[in-house]
Structure 1
């Protein structure tokens, strides 16, 4: 497997990861993301890991992390290394923030959403609010950055950060590292060479690529999978009653997830045999770009609790 080393970080070209948030049980949309990232890695002979993105303590559900890991294990999708939790990695994030501040890329900001209304919600290249009697957030200067990349599923992507995003938060006012910085630091530190995730994060990718460039991290490749939608067109995970997949009977949901990703049907009666065959026959070109209601979801639905 090809490797690249930069600034002490080693990247394996197709090494992948699944990074759930412990805000509920594993549902069909999350299973699609986990299976998709696993297939990309395994079909290339690469390792695959699980990272728990638990920085948002207010949304965390007690016991959800353990439940997700148990479900993944039942679906044959256990990671190759011990699970890492973001909540234990604050020193790494703080070091990255300090580096960005030192190099003039980050600044303190007290702006609220109300302060940004005159700018259409797009943050200008400086804080426009007076210092307040509370801790500030930290934002990244995007300057005139225009980011383009080729997504393995969604094709060519382009974003003018100054006009479409503005300077964005990388460290929250409550003292927690923001998602955009944390995921970049984690992917570099864990040697992730290929980021495979849901298309709802496609818009975040240019911000992460800019951070990778500023921090001198290796740039992974990206593949953004179509989203599983409910009958009303909303992302499945946004439904209060999003169906948790049943770890007691994993085959129906696994088959439905494979079908959703455009992969060949499998009649294997064993989870590990099904996954082994799926990794051998995996073809990324079969994956559809657009979000749809899950095909054959009735089978997975009948297998839920």
Structure 2
């Protein structure tokens, strides 16, 4: 996802909030969520939180038979992500099961201003829908911060020529250099993490809490480090990283140290490929690009 899509999400939400019709309320809400889930990053974030906190339809069937305050405290005490997962799945349940003329805000009663409120439609949009959108945008901002961090690292290497042909002995040396940069930048991370698919290079913690377990979990960003030798080696690295991300249900970066000018085609949506140039040529002299197609 990029800045254009962030702006598009906000545009969709502004349009949604501008609709006032009670009769068309459910239709407008469904159209809004369809638009949001048409953006791949949004769909991934929504699917991820639902997979992590699955809720059976029977739970909603039971909750809707009782007064909302009888389950609301238990709901919010399970944490913000669980609450959002509940909201998303409650909406999907209502969309599947309920009369389209029975307004969502007449069923989701805990977002009312009061029992006699006439602003139920507005409060549904601001207090039920908006937190879901904020969660998606915050997920993007956290990931964008880490991508920016790695880009700055690549720029620093090239600008200050921190490597030459003699002081790169192995990928392990590169990993140590990148680890020192993360540490000096104040970021917590795990290095050389064992998984059932092998040993990944870095899990960068992408949230506000330090996780006590090494396991890949919500809020972690995976980085795999490679020193470019040939195209097949980089393609194999992409296959390796993709396997880690499927296991971790995460996003990641393939960080390539190279003495060649590289370009990339058909990069998977959940992966960013960045290069750190460690050669001796000035930018104006790097005229020949090696193109790597990840679908070939």
TM-score range, shorter chain: under 0.3
Report the TM-score when normalising by structure 1. Answer: 0.20
Scaled by the length of structure 2, the TM-score of the pair is: 0.20
